[in-house]
Each structure stands twice: as structure tokens, then as C-alpha cells.
Structure 1
Amino acid sequence: MQKLTNKEEEIMKILWRLKKAFVKEIMSEIEGEKPHYNTLSTIVRNLEDKNYVAHEAFGKTHRYYPIISKESYRKKFVNASIVDYFDNSYKNLVSFFAKEEKISVEELQEIIDLIEKRK
């Protein structure tokens, strides 16, 4: 599974949310500055080449749908990030967010409760 560019990830998030969409429907979901239609179409075809999406043909028009789940993608690349940036340590990951004040004591307690329930 190849890592996606930021723009490809943005398009995949839209497709995961919509389940199936034509390029014009994807375009309408993009927030902020919208790419040219042909540019977006090329990005979606690149996602198909990378085996992230497939399509159904309706004449000359294609409706695209994800063939890689959001969960599969998240698992692969979150794990890679933990290896690359946190020395393969979830403790280092959680510590990072605690130091950056991105996680509250209550959220940490919820995580502890989840771990204890699994024992």
C-alpha cells in the first residue's frame, strides 16, 4: 500500500464518506480552493492506479468507490508513523500529545480504562 499525498488523502476521505461518487460530486465536497475538474479527475485516476479506488462505468462517465477501507489505511500509516517518529513506542506517542496539551487527563483516564477492561 503506497502512502498518499495530502490531496489524495483529502479525496479518499471524501470517497470514504460518500461511499460512491462521480468526480463532480467529489468536487462539490472539496472545501476551500477547488482544483480544475481535469486535475481532480487525474488525482482520482491516480488513486485507481494505486489500487485505492475502483469505478463503475456509465457510458463515458465513471463513478468511483474506495476499495481500501479507511481503517486499513489508518492502521498501516499510523503504525508507520509510530515507528518513524516515536521509536515504535505508543508510550512516546501518548507522552508527545500530553506534553503538547493535546490530550486531557480525562481522555488519558478513558484510555487507561479501555486497557484495564481488556485484561
Structure 2
Amino acid sequence: MTEPCPKIRLDKWLWQARFFKTRSLAAGQVTGGHVRVNGSRAAKPAQQVGAGDVLTFAQGHHVRVVRIIAPGTRRGPAPEAQALYEDITPPESRDSAPPNPRYEGKGRPTKRDRRKLLSDGSGPLE
């Protein structure tokens, strides 16, 4: 007989794989509807996930897409956590973010220089 694939709670896996610093932060993301499992929104943090499931969630300003390889047994060091998943996030183009304003000088710009930077059309004070 074949053994069933081991499953683990979604919030616990996200914490063990080091995507979130605490388990309660991971549970909050799941409860808030920000995590998708195999394309459908995760209903609760206790949802069971296992090898082969695809998770989609926001981390910072980026959307991460990962495929679970193993459920994991503990929250170990980073190399151990990275072995739990395969990152299939599509690469982002560098042109999507606006460039930082340039300051032609040395050191930190003065208050006057900062006003000039904002009035040149690169800031919100047009």
C-alpha cells in the first residue's frame, strides 16, 4: 500500500519555510485572504498543504509563487528552509519601478536641493 503524502498546516509551513518571521504573521496573511493554494484562496490557516501544492502570496512589494517540495519537520536554518520549496516566481522587469532621483553632488542634499528635486517634476509638489 502507498502511504498518503504527509500534510501540514498552511501557516506552520509558511513559518517553517521562513517566509514570515512569526507563525501569527503567517496566519494573519492567510486569514486576510492574501494566500492562494493551487489558485484558490486559502480559507483558514489550518488548511492542510503538502508536496506538489503551489502557493501564491505577497511578500513585501513582490508576489511570490512557490511549489512545496516537502512539508518540513522544524524551523531550521535558511538552507534547510530553502530545501522545502521551489521558487517559480516569474522574473520581474527592472523597468517597472521608477528610477530614483539623481543628485548631482557629493554627500547628502541640502533642504534647498531637495526642494529643487521635487519641483523639477519628479515629485508630488508639481
Give the TM-score normalised by structure 2: 0.25
| Higher strand content, 1 or 2 | 2
TM-score in terms of structure 1 length: 0.26
Q: Which has the larger radius of gyration?
A: 2
Q: Which has the higher helix share?
A: 1
